[in-house]
Structure 1
Amino acid sequence: MKRINIGGVPEHFNLAWYLTLKNGEYKNEGINLRWKDYFGGTGAMNKGLREGEIDMAVILTEGIIKDIIDGNPSKIVQTFVQSPLIWGIHVAHNSDFESIEDLKGKKAAISRYGSGSHLMAFINAESNNWNLEEDLDFEVIKNLDGAVEGLTNGVADYFMWEKFTTKPIVDEGVFRRIANCPTPWPCFVIAVNNEFFENNKEDVKTILNIINNTTSEFKSIPSIDVTIANRYDQRLEDVQEWLSLTEWSQDVIDEATIMTVQEKLLELDIIPKSIDYSDLIHDLK
Protein backbone atom coordinates (compact mmCIF):
# COMPACT_ATOMS: atom_id res chain seq x y z
CA MET A 1 0.00 0.00 0.00
CA LYS A 2 1.41 3.37 -1.03
CA ARG A 3 1.90 5.93 1.74
CA ILE A 4 1.02 9.52 0.84
CA ASN A 5 1.36 12.41 3.30
CA ILE A 6 -1.03 15.37 3.27
CA GLY A 7 -1.27 18.40 5.54
CA GLY A 8 -3.91 20.94 6.50
CA VAL A 9 -5.12 23.14 9.31
CA PRO A 10 -7.07 21.35 12.08
CA GLU A 11 -10.23 23.29 11.33
CA HIS A 12 -13.82 22.57 10.28
CA PHE A 13 -13.03 23.20 6.59
CA ASN A 14 -11.10 19.93 6.60
CA LEU A 15 -13.63 17.67 8.31
CA ALA A 16 -14.34 15.98 4.96
CA TRP A 17 -10.78 14.62 4.97
CA TYR A 18 -11.27 13.18 8.45
CA LEU A 19 -14.53 11.52 7.42
CA THR A 20 -13.06 9.90 4.31
CA LEU A 21 -10.02 8.72 6.27
CA LYS A 22 -12.21 7.33 9.03
CA ASN A 23 -14.25 5.43 6.45
CA GLY A 24 -11.10 3.84 5.00
CA GLU A 25 -11.89 5.14 1.52
CA TYR A 26 -8.27 5.69 0.49
CA LYS A 27 -7.14 2.31 1.79
CA ASN A 28 -9.83 0.70 -0.34
CA GLU A 29 -7.91 2.12 -3.32
CA GLY A 30 -4.50 0.95 -2.08
CA ILE A 31 -3.49 4.34 -0.66
CA ASN A 32 -2.30 4.84 2.90
CA LEU A 33 -3.13 8.55 3.17
CA ARG A 34 -1.64 10.07 6.32
CA TRP A 35 -3.02 13.40 7.51
CA LYS A 36 -0.83 15.87 9.42
CA ASP A 37 -2.34 18.82 11.31
CA TYR A 38 -0.46 22.07 10.77
CA PHE A 39 -1.26 24.38 13.67
CA GLY A 40 1.15 26.93 12.20
CA GLY A 41 -1.00 27.27 9.07
CA THR A 42 0.08 28.04 5.52
CA GLY A 43 3.67 29.05 6.22
CA ALA A 44 4.35 25.77 8.02
CA MET A 45 2.70 23.77 5.21
CA ASN A 46 4.79 25.54 2.57
CA LYS A 47 7.88 24.51 4.53
CA GLY A 48 6.53 20.93 4.70
CA LEU A 49 6.01 20.82 0.92
CA ARG A 50 9.46 22.24 0.26
CA GLU A 51 11.22 19.79 2.58
CA GLY A 52 9.28 16.69 1.55
CA GLU A 53 7.55 16.29 4.90
CA ILE A 54 4.24 16.20 3.02
CA ASP A 55 3.35 15.42 -0.58
CA MET A 56 0.08 17.38 -0.67
CA ALA A 57 -1.45 20.28 1.24
CA VAL A 58 -4.85 21.91 1.69
CA ILE A 59 -3.58 25.45 1.80
CA LEU A 60 -4.53 29.11 1.47
CA THR A 61 -4.63 30.24 -2.16
CA GLU A 62 -2.59 33.41 -1.77
CA GLY A 63 -0.03 31.69 0.48
CA ILE A 64 0.84 28.87 -1.91
CA ILE A 65 0.90 31.17 -4.95
CA LYS A 66 3.41 33.44 -3.21
CA ASP A 67 5.56 30.50 -2.16
CA ILE A 68 5.57 28.89 -5.62
CA ILE A 69 6.79 32.20 -7.04
CA ASP A 70 9.43 32.17 -4.25
CA GLY A 71 10.63 28.73 -5.36
CA ASN A 72 8.38 26.15 -3.71
CA PRO A 73 8.55 23.13 -6.07
CA SER A 74 4.79 22.54 -5.99
CA LYS A 75 1.68 23.43 -7.98
CA ILE A 76 -2.08 23.69 -7.41
CA VAL A 77 -4.28 20.81 -8.60
CA GLN A 78 -7.71 22.21 -7.71
CA THR A 79 -9.73 24.62 -5.62
CA PHE A 80 -10.92 23.06 -2.36
CA VAL A 81 -13.13 25.80 -0.86
CA GLN A 82 -14.66 28.17 -3.40
CA SER A 83 -16.03 30.76 -0.96
CA PRO A 84 -13.82 33.46 0.58
CA LEU A 85 -12.21 32.99 3.97
CA ILE A 86 -13.62 35.45 6.47
CA TRP A 87 -10.72 36.68 8.56
CA GLY A 88 -11.66 38.13 11.93
CA ILE A 89 -9.52 41.01 13.18
CA HIS A 90 -8.99 40.35 16.88
CA VAL A 91 -7.62 42.27 19.84
CA ALA A 92 -7.18 41.35 23.49
CA HIS A 93 -10.52 41.57 25.27
CA ASN A 94 -9.29 44.16 27.78
CA SER A 95 -7.38 46.31 25.25
CA ASP A 96 -8.30 49.91 24.43
CA PHE A 97 -8.63 49.21 20.70
CA GLU A 98 -12.17 49.69 19.41
CA SER A 99 -11.85 50.12 15.64
CA ILE A 100 -9.65 49.31 12.66
CA GLU A 101 -8.32 52.86 12.70
CA ASP A 102 -7.02 52.29 16.24
CA LEU A 103 -4.76 49.53 14.87
CA LYS A 104 -3.01 51.72 12.31
CA GLY A 105 0.74 51.48 12.96
CA LYS A 106 0.26 48.87 15.68
CA LYS A 107 1.83 45.40 15.80
CA ALA A 108 0.08 42.49 14.05
CA ALA A 109 0.62 38.99 15.36
CA ILE A 110 1.40 36.62 12.48
CA SER A 111 2.05 32.88 12.46
CA ARG A 112 5.14 33.41 10.28
CA TYR A 113 6.28 35.58 7.38
CA GLY A 114 4.56 34.52 4.16
CA SER A 115 1.62 33.04 6.05
CA GLY A 116 -2.03 33.91 5.50
CA SER A 117 -2.10 36.04 8.63
CA HIS A 118 0.88 37.99 7.27
CA LEU A 119 -0.51 38.48 3.75
CA MET A 120 -3.99 39.39 4.94
CA ALA A 121 -2.57 42.11 7.18
CA PHE A 122 -1.42 43.81 3.97
CA ILE A 123 -4.81 43.37 2.32
CA ASN A 124 -6.55 44.80 5.38
CA ALA A 125 -4.10 47.73 5.48
CA GLU A 126 -4.60 48.51 1.81
CA SER A 127 -8.39 48.35 2.05
CA ASN A 128 -8.20 50.94 4.85
CA ASN A 129 -5.79 53.19 2.94
CA TRP A 130 -2.88 52.70 5.33
CA ASN A 131 0.72 53.33 4.36
CA LEU A 132 2.05 49.81 3.78
CA GLU A 133 5.59 50.75 4.79
CA GLU A 134 4.83 52.87 7.84
CA ASP A 135 1.58 51.49 9.25
CA LEU A 136 2.41 47.77 9.41
CA ASP A 137 4.53 46.05 12.04
CA PHE A 138 4.72 42.32 12.82
CA GLU A 139 5.36 39.89 15.66
CA VAL A 140 5.77 36.18 14.83
CA ILE A 141 3.68 34.07 17.24
CA LYS A 142 3.68 30.68 15.38
CA ASN A 143 0.06 29.62 15.94
CA LEU A 144 -3.29 30.36 17.58
CA ASP A 145 -2.03 29.53 21.07
CA GLY A 146 0.86 31.90 20.48
CA ALA A 147 -1.61 34.61 19.44
CA VAL A 148 -3.62 34.17 22.64
CA GLU A 149 -0.45 34.55 24.68
CA GLY A 150 0.91 37.41 22.56
CA LEU A 151 -2.23 39.54 22.62
CA THR A 152 -2.91 38.85 26.30
CA ASN A 153 0.65 39.86 27.25
CA GLY A 154 0.71 42.87 24.93
CA VAL A 155 3.56 41.52 22.76
CA ALA A 156 1.30 42.16 19.75
CA ASP A 157 -1.79 44.31 19.32
CA TYR A 158 -4.04 42.49 16.86
CA PHE A 159 -4.37 39.14 15.14
CA MET A 160 -6.13 38.02 11.97
CA TRP A 161 -7.48 34.46 11.81
CA GLU A 162 -10.55 32.69 10.44
CA LYS A 163 -13.47 34.13 12.42
CA PHE A 164 -15.33 30.91 13.19
CA THR A 165 -12.17 29.14 14.38
CA THR A 166 -11.52 31.96 16.86
CA LYS A 167 -15.17 32.42 17.86
CA PRO A 168 -14.86 30.20 20.99
CA ILE A 169 -11.92 32.37 22.13
CA VAL A 170 -14.06 35.46 21.59
CA ASP A 171 -16.95 33.84 23.49
CA GLU A 172 -14.60 33.06 26.38
CA GLY A 173 -13.71 36.75 26.68
CA VAL A 174 -10.05 36.30 25.66
CA PHE A 175 -10.29 38.05 22.27
CA ARG A 176 -12.61 40.75 20.95
CA ARG A 177 -13.32 40.76 17.22
CA ILE A 178 -13.55 44.33 15.99
CA ALA A 179 -14.00 43.69 12.25
CA ASN A 180 -13.94 41.13 9.46
CA CYS A 181 -11.79 41.02 6.32
CA PRO A 182 -12.82 38.47 3.66
CA THR A 183 -10.34 37.23 1.05
CA PRO A 184 -11.12 38.57 -2.44
CA TRP A 185 -10.83 35.03 -3.94
CA PRO A 186 -11.54 31.34 -3.17
CA CYS A 187 -9.75 30.58 0.07
CA PHE A 188 -8.35 27.03 -0.01
CA VAL A 189 -6.69 25.04 -2.77
CA ILE A 190 -5.03 21.63 -2.91
CA ALA A 191 -1.34 21.77 -3.81
CA VAL A 192 1.00 18.91 -4.69
CA ASN A 193 4.79 18.67 -4.71
CA ASN A 194 5.95 18.55 -8.35
CA GLU A 195 8.20 15.50 -8.14
CA PHE A 196 5.56 13.54 -6.25
CA PHE A 197 2.92 14.55 -8.78
CA GLU A 198 4.94 13.41 -11.77
CA ASN A 199 5.42 9.96 -10.25
CA ASN A 200 1.96 9.55 -8.69
CA LYS A 201 -0.51 11.33 -10.97
CA GLU A 202 -3.13 8.56 -10.89
CA ASP A 203 -3.01 8.40 -7.09
CA VAL A 204 -3.56 12.15 -6.90
CA LYS A 205 -6.59 11.77 -9.17
CA THR A 206 -7.94 8.98 -6.94
CA ILE A 207 -7.52 11.07 -3.79
CA LEU A 208 -9.27 14.04 -5.41
CA ASN A 209 -12.15 11.87 -6.62
CA ILE A 210 -12.72 10.54 -3.10
CA ILE A 211 -12.59 13.90 -1.34
CA ASN A 212 -14.69 15.57 -4.06
CA ASN A 213 -17.43 12.97 -3.68
CA THR A 214 -17.67 13.90 0.00
CA THR A 215 -17.44 17.68 -0.34
CA SER A 216 -20.08 17.75 -3.09
CA GLU A 217 -22.58 16.26 -0.62
CA PHE A 218 -21.07 17.60 2.61
CA LYS A 219 -23.95 19.85 3.65
CA SER A 220 -26.48 17.04 3.23
CA ILE A 221 -24.67 14.66 5.63
CA PRO A 222 -27.17 13.97 8.45
CA SER A 223 -26.55 16.17 11.53
CA ILE A 224 -23.30 17.49 10.09
CA ASP A 225 -23.83 20.76 11.95
CA VAL A 226 -23.98 18.90 15.28
CA THR A 227 -20.88 16.86 14.38
CA ILE A 228 -18.89 20.01 13.58
CA ALA A 229 -20.09 21.83 16.70
CA ASN A 230 -19.02 18.93 18.93
CA ARG A 231 -15.71 18.21 17.22
CA TYR A 232 -14.51 21.82 17.00
CA ASP A 233 -16.07 23.16 20.20
CA GLN A 234 -18.34 25.55 18.31
CA ARG A 235 -21.82 26.83 19.07
CA LEU A 236 -24.42 25.19 16.85
CA GLU A 237 -25.73 28.53 15.53
CA ASP A 238 -22.16 29.55 14.56
CA VAL A 239 -21.66 26.29 12.66
CA GLN A 240 -24.97 26.74 10.86
CA GLU A 241 -23.97 30.26 9.83
CA TRP A 242 -20.58 29.00 8.64
CA LEU A 243 -22.19 26.21 6.60
CA SER A 244 -24.51 28.73 4.95
CA LEU A 245 -21.51 30.83 3.86
CA THR A 246 -19.17 28.03 2.75
CA GLU A 247 -19.04 26.40 -0.68
CA TRP A 248 -16.62 23.62 -1.59
CA SER A 249 -15.24 23.14 -5.08
CA GLN A 250 -14.37 20.12 -7.20
CA ASP A 251 -12.77 22.09 -10.04
CA VAL A 252 -9.35 23.40 -10.97
CA ILE A 253 -8.85 27.07 -10.11
CA ASP A 254 -9.37 29.21 -13.22
CA GLU A 255 -6.79 31.47 -14.84
CA ALA A 256 -8.71 34.69 -14.14
CA THR A 257 -8.68 33.98 -10.39
CA ILE A 258 -4.97 33.12 -10.44
CA MET A 259 -4.23 36.42 -12.19
CA THR A 260 -6.40 38.37 -9.73
CA VAL A 261 -4.46 36.95 -6.79
CA GLN A 262 -1.12 37.70 -8.43
CA GLU A 263 -2.14 41.24 -9.38
CA LYS A 264 -3.10 41.97 -5.77
CA LEU A 265 0.09 40.44 -4.33
CA LEU A 266 2.15 42.36 -6.89
CA GLU A 267 0.36 45.60 -6.07
CA LEU A 268 1.13 45.05 -2.37
CA ASP A 269 4.79 44.28 -3.13
CA ILE A 270 4.41 40.80 -1.63
CA ILE A 271 5.68 39.05 -4.79
CA PRO A 272 8.44 40.31 -7.12
CA LYS A 273 6.65 39.25 -10.33
CA SER A 274 3.66 37.33 -11.68
CA ILE A 275 4.15 34.03 -13.48
CA ASP A 276 2.19 32.05 -16.06
CA TYR A 277 -0.91 30.08 -15.12
CA SER A 278 0.81 26.88 -16.32
CA ASP A 279 3.64 27.47 -13.81
CA LEU A 280 1.15 27.44 -10.93
CA ILE A 281 -1.23 24.66 -11.98
CA HIS A 282 -0.80 20.92 -12.51
CA ASP A 283 -2.85 19.64 -15.43
CA LEU A 284 -4.67 16.47 -14.36
CA LYS A 285 -5.76 15.52 -17.89
Structure 2
Amino acid sequence: MKKVNIGGVPEHFNLAWYLTLKEGEYKDEGINLRWHDYYGGTGAMCKALRNKDIDLAVILTEGIIKDIIDGNPSKIVQTFVQTPLIWGIHVGNDSPYKTVEDLKGTKAAISRYGSGSHLMAYINAENNNWDLEKDLDFEVIKDLDGAVKGLTEGTADYFMWEKFTTKPLVDDGTFRRIDNCPSPWPCFVIAVREDFIESNREDLETILRIINNTTSEFKDIPSIDKTIANRYKQQLDDVQEWLGITEWSQSLINKETVMKAQKELFALNIIPEIVDYEKLTFEL
Protein backbone atom coordinates (compact mmCIF):
# COMPACT_ATOMS: atom_id res chain seq x y z
CA MET A 1 0.00 0.00 0.00
CA LYS A 2 1.36 3.39 -1.01
CA LYS A 3 1.99 5.72 1.96
CA VAL A 4 1.22 9.39 1.28
CA ASN A 5 1.58 12.24 3.80
CA ILE A 6 -0.67 15.30 3.73
CA GLY A 7 -0.66 18.36 5.96
CA GLY A 8 -3.28 20.96 6.88
CA VAL A 9 -4.57 23.13 9.67
CA PRO A 10 -6.81 21.36 12.22
CA GLU A 11 -9.81 23.50 11.34
CA HIS A 12 -13.35 23.03 10.05
CA PHE A 13 -12.30 23.71 6.44
CA ASN A 14 -10.55 20.34 6.43
CA LEU A 15 -13.30 18.19 7.95
CA ALA A 16 -13.93 16.58 4.54
CA TRP A 17 -10.44 15.03 4.71
CA TYR A 18 -11.19 13.58 8.14
CA LEU A 19 -14.48 12.11 6.93
CA THR A 20 -12.93 10.43 3.87
CA LEU A 21 -10.08 9.06 6.00
CA LYS A 22 -12.50 7.77 8.62
CA GLU A 23 -14.45 5.91 5.93
CA GLY A 24 -11.24 4.29 4.65
CA GLU A 25 -11.81 5.59 1.14
CA TYR A 26 -8.11 5.97 0.31
CA LYS A 27 -7.20 2.54 1.68
CA ASP A 28 -9.88 1.03 -0.59
CA GLU A 29 -7.77 2.40 -3.48
CA GLY A 30 -4.47 1.09 -2.08
CA ILE A 31 -3.36 4.42 -0.63
CA ASN A 32 -2.35 4.82 3.02
CA LEU A 33 -3.03 8.57 3.33
CA ARG A 34 -1.72 9.97 6.61
CA TRP A 35 -3.02 13.34 7.78
CA HIS A 36 -0.73 15.64 9.80
CA ASP A 37 -2.05 18.67 11.71
CA TYR A 38 0.01 21.84 11.33
CA TYR A 39 -0.93 24.21 14.15
CA GLY A 40 1.71 26.66 12.90
CA GLY A 41 -0.22 27.07 9.64
CA THR A 42 1.13 27.91 6.20
CA GLY A 43 4.73 28.69 7.13
CA ALA A 44 5.11 25.34 8.90
CA MET A 45 3.61 23.48 5.93
CA CYS A 46 5.89 25.24 3.42
CA LYS A 47 8.85 24.04 5.49
CA ALA A 48 7.40 20.50 5.65
CA LEU A 49 6.99 20.36 1.85
CA ARG A 50 10.58 21.51 1.37
CA ASN A 51 11.83 18.92 3.88
CA LYS A 52 9.71 16.15 2.27
CA ASP A 53 7.91 15.56 5.58
CA ILE A 54 4.66 15.77 3.60
CA ASP A 55 3.77 15.17 -0.05
CA LEU A 56 0.66 17.37 -0.20
CA ALA A 57 -0.58 20.40 1.74
CA VAL A 58 -3.93 22.15 2.04
CA ILE A 59 -2.47 25.60 2.29
CA LEU A 60 -3.20 29.31 2.00
CA THR A 61 -3.02 30.58 -1.57
CA GLU A 62 -0.84 33.62 -0.85
CA GLY A 63 1.57 31.67 1.34
CA ILE A 64 2.34 28.91 -1.14
CA ILE A 65 2.62 31.35 -4.06
CA LYS A 66 5.26 33.26 -2.10
CA ASP A 67 7.13 30.12 -1.11
CA ILE A 68 7.19 28.58 -4.61
CA ILE A 69 8.66 31.85 -5.91
CA ASP A 70 11.17 31.63 -3.04
CA GLY A 71 12.24 28.17 -4.25
CA ASN A 72 9.80 25.62 -2.80
CA PRO A 73 9.77 22.79 -5.41
CA SER A 74 5.98 22.36 -5.31
CA LYS A 75 3.02 23.19 -7.54
CA ILE A 76 -0.61 24.17 -6.95
CA VAL A 77 -2.78 21.41 -8.44
CA GLN A 78 -6.22 22.59 -7.33
CA THR A 79 -8.21 25.21 -5.47
CA PHE A 80 -9.66 23.64 -2.32
CA VAL A 81 -11.83 26.45 -0.89
CA GLN A 82 -13.05 28.90 -3.53
CA THR A 83 -14.31 31.64 -1.23
CA PRO A 84 -12.08 34.17 0.58
CA LEU A 85 -10.90 33.57 4.13
CA ILE A 86 -12.41 35.98 6.63
CA TRP A 87 -9.54 37.06 8.85
CA GLY A 88 -10.62 38.42 12.21
CA ILE A 89 -8.47 41.21 13.65
CA HIS A 90 -8.17 40.41 17.35
CA VAL A 91 -6.83 42.15 20.42
CA GLY A 92 -6.61 40.97 24.02
CA ASN A 93 -9.82 41.44 25.94
CA ASP A 94 -8.23 44.06 28.23
CA SER A 95 -6.46 45.87 25.38
CA PRO A 96 -6.97 49.64 25.13
CA TYR A 97 -7.35 49.36 21.32
CA LYS A 98 -10.90 49.71 19.99
CA THR A 99 -10.52 50.20 16.22
CA VAL A 100 -8.16 49.11 13.45
CA GLU A 101 -6.83 52.67 13.23
CA ASP A 102 -5.72 52.36 16.88
CA LEU A 103 -3.44 49.49 15.78
CA LYS A 104 -1.40 51.62 13.38
CA GLY A 105 2.27 51.31 14.37
CA THR A 106 1.65 48.60 16.99
CA LYS A 107 2.94 45.01 16.98
CA ALA A 108 1.16 42.22 15.07
CA ALA A 109 1.43 38.66 16.36
CA ILE A 110 2.31 36.32 13.48
CA SER A 111 2.79 32.56 13.45
CA ARG A 112 6.01 32.96 11.43
CA TYR A 113 7.41 35.11 8.63
CA GLY A 114 5.82 34.16 5.31
CA SER A 115 2.71 32.82 7.01
CA GLY A 116 -0.85 33.93 6.27
CA SER A 117 -1.00 35.96 9.48
CA HIS A 118 2.14 37.80 8.34
CA LEU A 119 1.02 38.43 4.74
CA MET A 120 -2.50 39.48 5.70
CA ALA A 121 -1.11 42.07 8.11
CA TYR A 122 0.27 43.75 4.98
CA ILE A 123 -3.08 43.47 3.20
CA ASN A 124 -4.81 45.04 6.21
CA ALA A 125 -2.21 47.82 6.38
CA GLU A 126 -2.67 48.56 2.69
CA ASN A 127 -6.49 48.57 3.07
CA ASN A 128 -6.09 51.26 5.74
CA ASN A 129 -3.46 53.31 3.88
CA TRP A 130 -0.74 52.71 6.46
CA ASP A 131 2.94 53.23 5.77
CA LEU A 132 4.18 49.65 5.23
CA GLU A 133 7.67 50.55 6.45
CA LYS A 134 6.76 52.51 9.57
CA ASP A 135 3.35 51.24 10.67
CA LEU A 136 4.00 47.47 10.74
CA ASP A 137 5.91 45.57 13.40
CA PHE A 138 5.85 41.84 14.17
CA GLU A 139 6.17 39.37 17.02
CA VAL A 140 6.51 35.67 16.09
CA ILE A 141 4.17 33.59 18.29
CA LYS A 142 4.17 30.24 16.36
CA ASP A 143 0.50 29.28 16.77
CA LEU A 144 -2.88 30.12 18.28
CA ASP A 145 -1.75 29.22 21.81
CA GLY A 146 1.22 31.55 21.34
CA ALA A 147 -1.14 34.31 20.22
CA VAL A 148 -3.24 33.91 23.38
CA LYS A 149 -0.09 34.24 25.48
CA GLY A 150 1.26 37.16 23.43
CA LEU A 151 -1.93 39.23 23.48
CA THR A 152 -2.67 38.44 27.13
CA GLU A 153 0.86 39.28 28.32
CA GLY A 154 1.24 42.26 25.99
CA THR A 155 4.24 41.12 23.92
CA ALA A 156 2.03 41.66 20.85
CA ASP A 157 -0.92 43.97 20.27
CA TYR A 158 -3.12 42.30 17.65
CA PHE A 159 -3.51 39.00 15.86
CA MET A 160 -5.14 38.07 12.55
CA TRP A 161 -6.60 34.57 12.23
CA GLU A 162 -9.63 32.95 10.61
CA LYS A 163 -12.57 34.47 12.45
CA PHE A 164 -14.62 31.31 13.05
CA THR A 165 -11.60 29.38 14.38
CA THR A 166 -10.96 32.12 16.94
CA LYS A 167 -14.65 32.74 17.75
CA PRO A 168 -14.59 30.48 20.86
CA LEU A 169 -11.76 32.67 22.22
CA VAL A 170 -13.89 35.75 21.57
CA ASP A 171 -16.90 34.10 23.21
CA ASP A 172 -14.95 33.23 26.36
CA GLY A 173 -13.44 36.71 26.69
CA THR A 174 -9.84 35.89 25.81
CA PHE A 175 -9.90 38.02 22.62
CA ARG A 176 -11.96 40.89 21.29
CA ARG A 177 -12.46 41.00 17.53
CA ILE A 178 -12.46 44.60 16.37
CA ASP A 179 -12.77 44.06 12.61
CA ASN A 180 -12.56 41.59 9.73
CA CYS A 181 -10.25 41.50 6.70
CA PRO A 182 -11.23 39.10 3.89
CA SER A 183 -8.45 37.70 1.71
CA PRO A 184 -8.71 39.15 -1.83
CA TRP A 185 -8.65 35.66 -3.48
CA PRO A 186 -9.76 32.01 -2.92
CA CYS A 187 -8.26 31.03 0.41
CA PHE A 188 -7.05 27.41 0.29
CA VAL A 189 -5.32 25.46 -2.46
CA ILE A 190 -3.83 21.97 -2.63
CA ALA A 191 -0.08 22.07 -3.26
CA VAL A 192 2.04 19.03 -4.08
CA ARG A 193 5.79 18.45 -4.28
CA GLU A 194 6.95 18.30 -7.90
CA ASP A 195 8.80 15.00 -7.44
CA PHE A 196 5.63 13.44 -6.01
CA ILE A 197 3.58 14.62 -9.01
CA GLU A 198 6.13 13.09 -11.37
CA SER A 199 6.32 9.70 -9.66
CA ASN A 200 2.80 9.30 -8.21
CA ARG A 201 0.46 11.05 -10.60
CA GLU A 202 -2.13 8.26 -10.60
CA ASP A 203 -2.28 8.17 -6.79
CA LEU A 204 -2.60 11.95 -6.71
CA GLU A 205 -5.51 11.87 -9.17
CA THR A 206 -7.21 9.21 -7.02
CA ILE A 207 -6.79 11.27 -3.83
CA LEU A 208 -8.25 14.37 -5.51
CA ARG A 209 -11.16 12.42 -6.96
CA ILE A 210 -12.07 11.08 -3.50
CA ILE A 211 -11.85 14.43 -1.70
CA ASN A 212 -13.67 16.25 -4.52
CA ASN A 213 -16.57 13.80 -4.37
CA THR A 214 -16.97 14.70 -0.70
CA THR A 215 -16.51 18.48 -0.93
CA SER A 216 -18.96 18.74 -3.83
CA GLU A 217 -21.69 17.35 -1.55
CA PHE A 218 -20.30 18.54 1.80
CA LYS A 219 -23.15 20.88 2.70
CA ASP A 220 -25.70 18.15 2.03
CA ILE A 221 -24.23 15.74 4.59
CA PRO A 222 -26.96 15.18 7.23
CA SER A 223 -26.39 17.28 10.39
CA ILE A 224 -23.02 18.48 9.12
CA ASP A 225 -23.52 21.75 11.02
CA LYS A 226 -23.91 19.88 14.32
CA THR A 227 -20.90 17.67 13.54
CA ILE A 228 -18.70 20.74 12.95
CA ALA A 229 -20.01 22.54 16.04
CA ASN A 230 -19.25 19.53 18.26
CA ARG A 231 -15.87 18.65 16.76
CA TYR A 232 -14.50 22.20 16.72
CA LYS A 233 -16.29 23.47 19.85
CA GLN A 234 -18.18 26.19 17.99
CA GLN A 235 -21.62 27.71 18.34
CA LEU A 236 -24.16 26.18 15.95
CA ASP A 237 -25.25 29.55 14.55
CA ASP A 238 -21.59 30.45 13.84
CA VAL A 239 -21.14 27.18 11.96
CA GLN A 240 -24.32 27.78 9.97
CA GLU A 241 -23.11 31.28 9.06
CA TRP A 242 -19.75 29.86 7.98
CA LEU A 243 -21.36 27.13 5.86
CA GLY A 244 -23.51 29.80 4.20
CA ILE A 245 -20.49 31.80 2.98
CA THR A 246 -18.04 28.98 2.16
CA GLU A 247 -17.73 27.22 -1.20
CA TRP A 248 -15.34 24.40 -2.03
CA SER A 249 -13.73 23.92 -5.44
CA GLN A 250 -12.85 20.88 -7.52
CA SER A 251 -10.79 22.64 -10.20
CA LEU A 252 -7.41 24.29 -10.71
CA ILE A 253 -7.06 27.93 -9.69
CA ASN A 254 -7.27 30.08 -12.83
CA LYS A 255 -4.56 32.26 -14.33
CA GLU A 256 -6.38 35.54 -13.65
CA THR A 257 -6.62 34.81 -9.92
CA VAL A 258 -2.98 33.75 -9.65
CA MET A 259 -1.80 36.89 -11.44
CA LYS A 260 -4.03 39.10 -9.25
CA ALA A 261 -2.57 37.57 -6.09
CA GLN A 262 0.98 37.98 -7.41
CA LYS A 263 0.41 41.63 -8.33
CA GLU A 264 -0.87 42.31 -4.83
CA LEU A 265 2.06 40.51 -3.17
CA PHE A 266 4.56 42.22 -5.46
CA ALA A 267 3.12 45.66 -4.71
CA LEU A 268 3.58 44.94 -1.01
CA ASN A 269 7.22 43.81 -1.58
CA ILE A 270 6.32 40.33 -0.31
CA ILE A 271 7.53 38.64 -3.52
CA PRO A 272 10.54 39.85 -5.57
CA GLU A 273 8.98 39.19 -9.00
CA ILE A 274 5.84 38.08 -10.82
CA VAL A 275 6.33 34.67 -12.45
CA ASP A 276 4.48 32.71 -15.13
CA TYR A 277 1.28 30.90 -14.18
CA GLU A 278 2.89 27.60 -15.22
CA LYS A 279 5.70 28.04 -12.68
CA LEU A 280 3.15 28.00 -9.86
CA THR A 281 0.55 25.49 -11.07
CA PHE A 282 0.25 22.02 -12.57
CA GLU A 283 -2.82 20.82 -14.44
CA LEU A 284 -3.54 17.12 -13.97
TM-score calculated relative to the size of structure 1: 0.99
Matched residue, 1:15: 15
Alignment of 1:272-283 (within 5 A): 272-283=272-283
Q: Tell me the distance in 2 between the aligned counterparts of 1:206 and 1:99.
A: 47
Alignment of 1:74-223 (within 5 A): 74-223=74-223
Matched residue, 1:269: 269
AA matched with 2:38: Y
Q: Deviations over 1:134-159 (max 9, x none)?
A: 00000000000000000000000000
Indicate whether 1:257 and 2:257 are aligned. yes
SS of residue paired to 2:14: helix
| 1:99 shift after superposition | 0.2
Q: Tell me the distance in 1 between the aligned counterparts of 2:264 and 2:225.
A: 35
Q: Tell me the distance in 2 between the aligned counterparts of 1:174 and 1:34.
A: 33
Q: Deviations over 1:110-162 (max 9, x none)?
A: 00000000000000000000000000000000000000000000000000000
SS of residue paired to 1:260: helix
SS of residue paired to 2:117: helix
Matched residue, 1:247: 247
AA matched with 1:52: K
| 1:283 shift after superposition | 1.9
**Residue-pair matches, total:** 284
Q: Tell me the distance in 1 between the aligned counterparts of 2:127 and 2:202.
A: 42
Q: Tell me the distance in 2 between the aligned counterparts of 1:270 and 1:281.
A: 19
Q: Tell me the distance in 2 between the aligned counterparts of 1:115 and 1:191.
A: 15
Q: Tell me the distance in 2 between the aligned counterparts of 1:195 and 1:212.
A: 23
Q: Tell me the distance in 2 between the aligned counterparts of 1:95 and 1:187.
A: 29
Q: Deviations over 1:209-265 (max 9, x none)?
A: 000000000000000000000000000000000000000000100000000000000
Unaligned runs of 5+ residues in structure 2 are: none
Moved beyond 4 Å, runs of 4+: none
AA matched with 2:2: K
SS of residue paired to 1:165: coil
| 1:206 shift after superposition | 0.3
AA matched with 1:208: L
SS of residue paired to 2:177: strand
AA matched with 2:152: T
AA matched with 1:224: I
Indicate whether 1:228 and 2:225 are aligned. no
Matched residue, 1:48: 48
| 1:84 shift after superposition | 0.2
Q: Tell me the distance in 1 between the aligned counterparts of 2:154 and 2:133.
A: 22
AA matched with 1:266: F
Indicate whether 1:27 and 2:27 are aligned. yes
Q: Tell me the distance in 2 between the aligned counterparts of 1:283 and 1:20.
A: 23
Q: Tell me the distance in 2 between the aligned counterparts of 1:15 and 1:8.
A: 10
AA matched with 1:60: L
| 1:282 shift after superposition | 1.1
Q: Deviations over 1:173-212 (max 9, x none)?
A: 0000000000010000000000111000111100000000
Q: Percent identity?
A: 75
| 1:270 shift after superposition | 0.3
